[in-house]
Structure 1
């Protein structure tokens, strides 16, 4: 099993996120990775591979200072309070940190992989990505998520539970189904970049925080 270090977890997350979102392969930079996403509002992202105190102010300022196009994102594994003074007013900064998290993947027992009454569960695979959805009996989407398997590591992405169906265990169900599917495909470690809203769910399932995550977006002049 690959030793879990901050740098290789970041690279695993980058590769898994790319597979999940069908983005371009990363360009390796001295400070991390550049990924072309090709989506309106999210054209390109720059991901720094250092975490915590190892994040260098000079690197962040240099990369941020080279950006001239709206829809460019920075993903930096440090607290927003640390990063904010390094960026100018042309950047929108999420003042709540996300989290880079990991967990050893283990399969769930079969009885923990079934939908509760009134819901149906379906999973399918496209390439290296497993997708799972939970729907109501009449077909409304209740919860969903996906996981990209890349060798020993699998990256969880886009976990969502509809507002009307929260606190019913559906998010946990989706996570268990995805973790089990990834484990069956040979993955040993799970990685994700979670939002503050998702942190409680992931922590309840044994995920551990490796580093905080700051997200920043370069704004077009009319949006400043």
Structure 2
């Protein structure tokens, strides 16, 4: 299994409080325990190493609604390999990484905003509250040994283009580096990719997300 993929799985599980991953010949399975996200199958290969036969075999073995499939290849490639009942996110995700050595956090949020971080175990969470007290931005990061996985990073629509996303990412990675992590990993969206790349993150592989809906 690709080491960056495995690091992402382990960090995501810790961040979300999911069940420990179960190793499979093609990657791993994770029980999540939510109605619309019962479990997920994560294939361990990336880019050119992703095999159609393997993807089809894993997908064909899914019979229950709410099971997700994560494949590190383009949706336009993976989509035709899936049978009836699969919804495929048309937007590609991106598996990304960055060295954390020397990472530093920004000094303070913009005037009127309130920044707070707190940790439970190896997971650090961040809230950036707007002047009216609503959530302007948020995120969390799970540190496992030398790797830290950033997760659920988002900025509310009315507060975008003010540098808040940058503040969130830099603050979280600084916290992870302080815990001894030297590499950051995340699964980003097309909208988030530009932000992460501006902070030194690089794309390791595209990511297709698909969910079995149980119907044609």
TM-score, length of structure 2 as denominator length:
0.97
CA distance in 2, matches of 1:137, 1:107: 31
Matched, 1:126 2:120: yes
Give 3-state SS (helix, strand or coil) of 2:174's partner: helix
CA distance in 1, matches of 2:131, 2:191: 27
Matched, 1:139 2:137: no
Cross-structure match for 2:86: 91
Q: Please, which of 7, 10, 17 is the counterpart of residue 12 of structure 2?
A: 17
Give 3-state SS (helix, strand or coil) of 1:88's partner: coil
Q: Please, which of 70, 75, 88 is the counterpart of residue 70 of structure 2?
A: 75
Q: Please, which of 150, 153, 162 is the counterpart of residue 159 of structure 1?
A: 153
Cross-structure match for 2:47: 52
CA distance in 2, matches of 1:57, 1:216: 15
Q: For structure 1, list consecutive stretches of 5 or more residues without a partner in the other structure.
A: 1-5
Cross-structure match for 2:170: 176
Q: For structure 2, list consecutive stretches of 5 or more residues without a partner in the other structure.
A: none
Aligned length: 216
Cross-structure match for 1:3: none
CA distance in 2, matches of 1:198, 1:109: 20
Q: Please, which of 179, 195, 203 is the counterpart of residue 201 of structure 1?
A: 195
TM-superposition CA deviations, 1:38-68 (whole Å, max 9, x none): 0111001000010011011111111111111
- The CA RMSD over aligned residues, in Å, is 1.2
List 4+ stretches of structure 1 deviating above 6 A: none
Give 3-state SS (helix, strand or coil) of 2:44's partner: strand
Contact 2:103/2:177, CA 8 A, preserved across alignment: no
